[in-house]
Structure 1
Amino acid sequence: MSNDNLWRDTPAGSGGCQCGAVRYTFTAGPSKATICHCRMCQRAVGGPFAALLELPRDRISWAGAPKRFASSSKADRGFCPECGTPLFYDFHDRDVIEVTAGSLPPDFPYRPVKQWGMESRCGWLDGLPRLPGAETFETGISSNQSSENDGA
């Protein structure tokens, strides 16, 4: 864990994949919430950026075995082998792991403190606050996803 001033105390938490086959828990303590816009992260999460919560590896425990992909010379990316949910970014040479913010419950106090990979940031993100919004289930969709620790 680096000594930069981006680390914040966060409560214990838990998260996991869509189908519930892989779950994790972590203890309270320092973490660093960031967003990465780099092309590797965009492709890994299938979206315009990866929202990640970095925490010391020794604070996290797993139920179920995530699958790993060596996405670069520096890290593996983890995902559920059943449903494919992206779950983490794991550095080879550091004692930290970054879990995806989307795998945390919606009420977890995730507050990004830095953005990375700005060279690949999608310009259309600037316009999002001006778009109209709607509730997810107003269209009659029902979810088949695991609701464990999800607030759903």
Structure 2
Amino acid sequence: MSEKMKGGCACGRIRFEARVEKDDAYLCHCRMCQRATGSVSIAFMNIRKADMTWAREPDWYQSSPIAQRPYCRECGTSLGFSHPDHDKMDLTVASFDDPSRFRPTSHFGAEAMHRAWLDTTGLPEMRADQYQPLIERWAKAGVDITR
């Protein structure tokens, strides 16, 4: 089902709207993505460039001779990946205002996959809104995160 979805960076400087056709997303584990994001993998969804608009053009980083990445220079949010000569690009799943629609359907860059980080079932879990030191920090800043 086609749906217009909005998203953007952490500080709100960069915003976008995308017409999303599918729920399919994937995890990229390639070394380029690991280094660009500082993470063991990144969740992407693929979209036609014609199906998205930037409210404010992001900053672009030439991450290799064949690819570039949109990001926000103010907060550092990684927003995607693009081959400039292709009609599609990837947007980071987490940059959508509501990423819950998307479902992982595949892995890419499996040669650099860190499998221990994929299935963390059974590890202890803690909610941020129940961690007292964090609640107190936010309270000092005038924000109640327990609501």
The answer to whether the superposition gives a TM-score over 0.5 is yes
How far 1:120 sits from its partner (Å)?
0.8
How far 1:13 sits from its partner (Å)?
0.8
8 A Cα contact 1:14 1:24, kept in partner: yes
TM-score by length of 2: 0.83
Find the residue that maps to 1:12 and give its secondary structure.
Answer: strand
Residue 6 of structure 1 corresponds to none
Q: Does 1:104 align with 2:96?
A: yes
Q: Does 1:50 align with 2:46?
A: no
Q: Does 1:33 align with 2:25?
A: yes
Find the residue that maps to 1:97 and give its secondary structure.
Answer: strand
Alpha-carbon separation, structure 2, partners of 1:18 and 1:43? 20
Runs of 5+ unmatched residues, structure 1: 1-8, 145-151
8 A Cα contact 1:10 1:109, kept in partner: no
8 A Cα contact 2:23 2:103, kept in partner: no
Deviation larger for 135-144 or 38-47: 135-144
- Supply the AA of the counterpart residue of 2:53: S
Residue 13 of structure 1 corresponds to 5
Alpha-carbon separation, structure 1, partners of 2:54 and 2:138? 28
User: Over the residues paired in the alignment, what is the CA RMSD in angstroms?
Assistant: 2.2
How far 1:75 sits from its partner (Å)?
1.2
Residue 68 of structure 2 corresponds to 76
* 1:91-123 alpha-carbon deviations (Å, 9 max, x no partner): 122101111011113454111111011111113
Q: How many residues were matched structurally?
A: 137
Find the residue that maps to 2:86 and give its secondary structure.
Answer: coil
* 1:23-80 alpha-carbon deviations (Å, 9 max, x no partner): 0001242474111001111111111101001100001001122111111122101100
Q: 1:142 is matched with which residue: 124, 138, 142?
A: 138
Alpha-carbon separation, structure 2, partners of 1:51 and 1:98? 9
Larger radius of gyration: 2
- Supply the AA of the counterpart residue of 2:138: S
Runs of 5+ unmatched residues, structure 2: 142-146
TM-score by length of 1: 0.80
